[in-house]
Amino acid sequence: MSKILLYRVLSIIVSGFVLACSQEKAIPDIASDPLYNSWSHYLGDPGRTHFSNLEEFTPENVGGLSVAWEHELPDFGQMQMNPIVVGDVLYGVSAALRAFALDARTGERIWIVGDSLKVYHSTSRGVAYWEAGEDKRILYTLGSDLWCLNAQTGEPVASFGEGGRIDLRSAMPASARNKFVISNTPGTIFRDLIIMPLRVSESVGAAPGDIMAFNVRTGELVWVFHTIPHPAEVGYGSWENPGTYLNELVGAANNWAGMALDPEREILYAPTGSAAPDFYGGIRRGMNLFSDCLLALDANTGKRLWHFQFVHHDLWDRDPPAPPTLLTVERHGQKIPAVAQVTKQGYIFVFNRVTGEPLFEIREEKVPASELFGEQAWPFQPIPVKPLPFARQSQDLTDADLSPFAPRKDSLLQRFQKMDKRRFAPPGLEPVLFLPGFDGGAEWGGAGADPDRGILYVNSNEMPWILQMRETPALDRDISAGEGVYRKFCMMCHQSGREGLTASGYPSLVGIGSRLSEGEILSRISNGKGMMPAFPQIGEEDKKALLTFLLEEDAPSGTPGETRAKQGVTKASGSADVLPYQFMGYTKFLDSNGHPAIAPPWGTLHAIDLNSGEYLWSIPLGDTPGLQTEGSLPTGTENYGGPAVTKNGLLFIAATKDGYFRAFSRDTGELLWEYKLPAAAFATPALYEVGGKQYIAIACGGEKLGTSKGNKIIAFSL
- The verdict on whether omega for the bond into residue 290 sits within 30 degrees of 0, i.e. cis, is yes
Please state the rounded mean pLDDT for residues 646-655.
Answer: 97
Between 155 and 546, the higher pLDDT residue: 155
End-to-end CA distance of the chain: 31
Distances in whole angstroms, Cα of residue 400 to Cα of each of 4, 226, 404, 647: 16, 47, 9, 41
Please state the rounded mean pLDDT for residues 471-497.
Answer: 73
**CB contact set of 309 (below 8 Å; sequence gap of 6+):** 287, 289, 290, 291, 292, 293, 382
- The Cβ of residue 185 has, within 10 Å, a number of other Cβ atoms equal to 27
Confidence of residue 11 (pLDDT cuts 50, 70, 90): very low
> What tens digit of pLDDT does each residue of 318-361 get?
999 999 999 999 998 999 999 999 999 999 999 999 999 999 99
Q: What is the pLDDT of residue 5?
A: 39
Q: What is the pLDDT of residue 624?
A: 95
Please state the rounded mean pLDDT for residues 455-482.
Answer: 87
Q: What is the pLDDT of residue 456?
A: 98
Q: What is the pLDDT of residue 649?
A: 97
Which residue in 408, 444, 460 sits closest to 186, CA to CA?
444
Confidence of residue 571 (pLDDT cuts 50, 70, 90): very low
The answer to which of 139-153, 433-447, 486-500 has the lowest mean pLDDT is 486-500
Structural domains of the chain, ranges and CATH numbers in brackets: 1-115+324-393+437-463+600-718 (2.140.10.10), 126-287 (2.40.10.480), 473-578 (1.10.760.10)
CA-based R_g, the chain, Å? 24
* pLDDT > 90? residue 165: yes
Confidence of residue 20 (pLDDT cuts 50, 70, 90): very low
Please state the rounded mean pLDDT for residues 151-168.
Answer: 98
Between 77 and 4, the higher pLDDT residue: 77
The answer to which of 44-53, 242-251, 277-286, 706-715 has the lowest mean pLDDT is 242-251
Please check whether residue 306 is in contact with residue 278, taking contact to mean a CB–CB distance below 8 angstroms: no
The answer to which of 21-35, 419-433, 438-452, 660-674 has the lowest mean pLDDT is 21-35
Please state the rounded mean pLDDT for residues 429-446.
Answer: 97
* pLDDT > 50? residue 452: yes
Backbone angles phi, psi at 562, to 5 degrees: -65, -40
Confidence of residue 2 (pLDDT cuts 50, 70, 90): very low
Q: What is the pLDDT of residue 547?
A: 79
Confidence of residue 630 (pLDDT cuts 50, 70, 90): low
Percent of the chain with pLDDT over 70: 88
